Amino acid sequence: LREILALAPDTKVIVLTGQHDRENAVKAVGLGAYDFFAKPFEPELLNLTDPELIRSIHEEYLDAGCDVVSANTFGANRFKAEKAGRPLEDIVSSGVMIAKSAASARRGKFTALDIGPCGRVLRPVGDLPFEEAVGVFAEIVRAGTAAGADLILLETFTDLYELKAAMIAAKENSDLPVLATMSFEENGTSFFGATVESMVMTLQSLGADALGVNCSLGPGQLVPIVERILRSSSIPVMVQPNAGLPVFSGGEAGYDVTDEEFADCIKGFVEKGVSIVGGCCGTDPGYIRLVKERLRDVVPSGIRPGLKTGICSASKTVFFGDDTVIIGERLNPTGKKALKAALRAKDMDYVLREAIRQQEQGAHILDVNMGLPDIDEPEMLERAVIEIQSVTSLPLQLDSSDPEALERAARVYNGKPLINSVNGKKDSLKKILPIARKYGTAVLGLTLDDDGIPSSAEGRLKIARTIVDEAQKIGIPREDVLIDCLVMTASAQQDQVRETLRAVRMVKEELGLNTVLGVSNVSFGLPARPVINRTMLAMALMQGLDAPIMDPGDEGMRDTVDAFSVLMGIDRQAERFIAGRSVQEEKKQESGSLTETDAQADLAQAIIKGLSGDAEKATEILLSRMKPMEIIEKEIVPSLDFVGKEYESCTIFLPQLIRSAEAAQSSFELIRRQLAKEGSEGSEGRGRVVIATVQGDIHDIGKNIVKVIMENYNYRMIDLGKDVPPEKIVEAVRENGADFVGLSALMTTSVSSMKATIAI
């Protein structure tokens, strides 16, 4: 099967069934959608209660021409199994064996263990720890693999972080091929803000055998998204659209794309280069039959883009080689007393402020080093990665000499990071390269070995060649290796500066690798360090330096980078250079305690940037001179309005939105306590709202976002949770004298439950 997948771009179109067409199962057992989900049980339980029904549905799709059938396991996980009181292993194993019995009766057919999102949201946006998420998916993988699945299909994920957890679980608990897809909005980002390019880069680096998009939209709306995937992916691309968008008529859900229109769109995808296709919501066997007919004589294009060196966060991708990449150095405690003190005090707000500041100053990547001898570096680096990624979209360079710290940070990183560093020492190669390989990171190689740093450029080139050769031996692509030729101090080793510059040129020309340098090292011990630094930077850029590690707040260094881009023809027509100089540089944030003069501005900035500690400090000051309700109306609400507009325009994404809401919440809690002391009439807020996810639906991320935002707008929220019966919602409305009711439903099949609740 893996060979078929590897050949797929050139020789074969694989058609998958759509697991999401649950309407078939609903209709087959003679229930309406509301009745079906109100039982309470999930479609996956039919694997145990009515296996012949599930087998018959698989057979319909196989007879229609599918090459792969998805087991009825999409929603099976420990949370649902516990609620149903049935063993998860039984549900998953039965689902796989039913599908396999149908597929094995036909030549050349395969069975996919189908895994969807677990229904919980990962920290820091939600409450599910990353390792627990890995464990949830690992249980499914082990059960499905033992039952005889031929491949693993991870689909309908909207959170790249959750998908990474599922990928790790699949790789650690099975050697089956893994196909992975996400669902995107029409703007090309997922609900949680993942971009198409970040998805592709992350999944390829984690070892997916194929990747793509499913659900979310009809085939027509997916065209630009699929084209972006094809431009980025060097492995087989798969597409499983819905039969259009949901439409409701007479209380019944349907879709707005006919089988003919669907099949024509799928043919267009294959002609563009897609090699694995299928259907998602609404695509009954008739859709698949027409797809198979349309593709009878169509061969997908085998063209794949060339691989480039790059890293990413969930929402931002950075490539090396085309333009100078600035790696911010300010989150390294070496020589920084304030950062050292913050790390010892576990003051994460200081770290987050520094990360945000560097982003505003123009950094493209942030170096994150938490190395101090008197702190738990692995724990602190892991925590820093998680929290920094909640306030900035910049990709991170994970910087440590401790393999445990690097592994823990790489494991929880959302996207594809750069590890800093490995070197030519045998022990380093043995310990660090496997971490980079497992977690799909790029790796920065330092040109030193067991004999130290060579005095000649030729010696450093030799070590660089050893590092890239060893990396390739264990499966790390050549383009994922960057080299640091190591800047020596001009005050102590003046002749070595020239050798560093020669080594950069040789690594670029002879090995074709991208290069990184910690430029400011050159000036230690000398006066007028900024002059030395920017001169060294200019000289290194001319030798082929791709990514300086530098202080992005150093105006002279930034000017040197910008001028270099103009003079080398990178910044065409000097557009960026001119634009950058036509806008006045923002003043650096001043350190120290907050004052009454700047408290209002600081509260707004703390909310916008998601800094809860700063929001509390600013609120304490404001409460000494402003009325509580005045702070809410004049400070908190306008700040949240601004954040909302940023979210709508996709300037920020869900993690940043939640972080801002939490900062506002920390401010609001102080105000709430003050209102309670005063017995203020405003303590009831703008009104009472009963909010719940309706019966039959366990998805609550939308509800939770609405809840925290509305609390910050001073509404009293009565949260009933998820999968709530209509009668309980009505009872809560009456008991609390609610002014508003908020009903949440993600699944189309639970919309009927929403309708039933409204009717009562």
Length of the chain: 760
Tell me what pLDDT residue 583 has.
Answer: 54
Tell me the average pLDDT across 559-581. 90
Residue pointed to by tokens 């304030």: 338
Tell me what pLDDT residue 548 has.
Answer: 98
Per residue in 397-445, pLDDT (tens digit) is 999 999 999 999 999 999 999 999 999 999 999 999 999 999 999 999 9
pLDDT band with cut points at 50, 70 and 90 for residue 217? confident
Tell me what pLDDT residue 45 has.
Answer: 92
Q: How far apart are CA 522 and CA 502, in angstroms?
A: 15
Q: Residue 609: pLDDT above 80? A: yes
Tell me what pLDDT residue 12 has.
Answer: 52
Q: Residue 35: pLDDT above 50? A: no
CA nearest neighbour of 698 among 739, 730, 745, 735: 745
Task: Look up residue 401 and give its DSSP letter.
Answer: S
Q: Residue 171: pLDDT above 90? A: yes
More confident residue, 312 or 670: 312
Helices and strands per DSSP (H, E), number in the chain: 31, 24
CA nearest neighbour of 460 among 505, 415, 428, 429: 505
Q: Residue 71: pLDDT above 80? A: yes
CA nearest neighbour of 395 among 377, 371, 374, 419: 419
CB 668 within 8 A of CB 713: no
Phi (first) and psi of residue 549, to 5 degrees:
-90, 115
Average pLDDT, the chain: 88
Residue 282 region by backbone torsions, left for phi larger than 0, else alpha for psi between -120 and 50, else beta: left
State the CB neighbour count (10 A cutoff) for residue 84.
18
Tell me what pLDDT residue 670 has.
Answer: 86
By CB neighbour count within 10 A (0-12 exposed, 13-18 middle, 19+ buried), where does 558 fall? buried
Q: How far apart are CA 203 and CA 160, in angstroms?
A: 9
- Is the whole model's pTM more than 0.75, yes or no? yes
CB 256 within 8 A of CB 244: yes
Q: Residue 596: pLDDT above 50? A: no
Q: How far apart are CA 13 and CA 301, in angstroms?
A: 11
Q: How far apart are CA 12 and CA 9, in angstroms?
A: 7
Angle at 366 between CA 364 and CA 369, to 5 degrees: 165
Phi (first) and psi of residue 452, to 5 degrees:
95, -155
Output the DSSP codes for 311-374: EEESS-EEESSSS---EEEEE--TT-HHHHHHHHTT-HHHHHHHHHHHHHHT-SEEEE----TT
By CB neighbour count within 10 A (0-12 exposed, 13-18 middle, 19+ buried), where does 127 fall? exposed
Q: Residue 248: pLDDT above 60? A: yes
Task: Look up residue 178 and give its DSSP letter.
Answer: E
Q: Residue 9: pLDDT above 60? A: no
Sheet harboring 716-719: ordered strands across? 716-719, 688-693, 740-744
Q: How far is CA 176 from the centre of its chain?
A: 24
Per residue in 87-117, pLDDT (tens digit) is 999 999 999 999 999 999 998 999 999 999 9
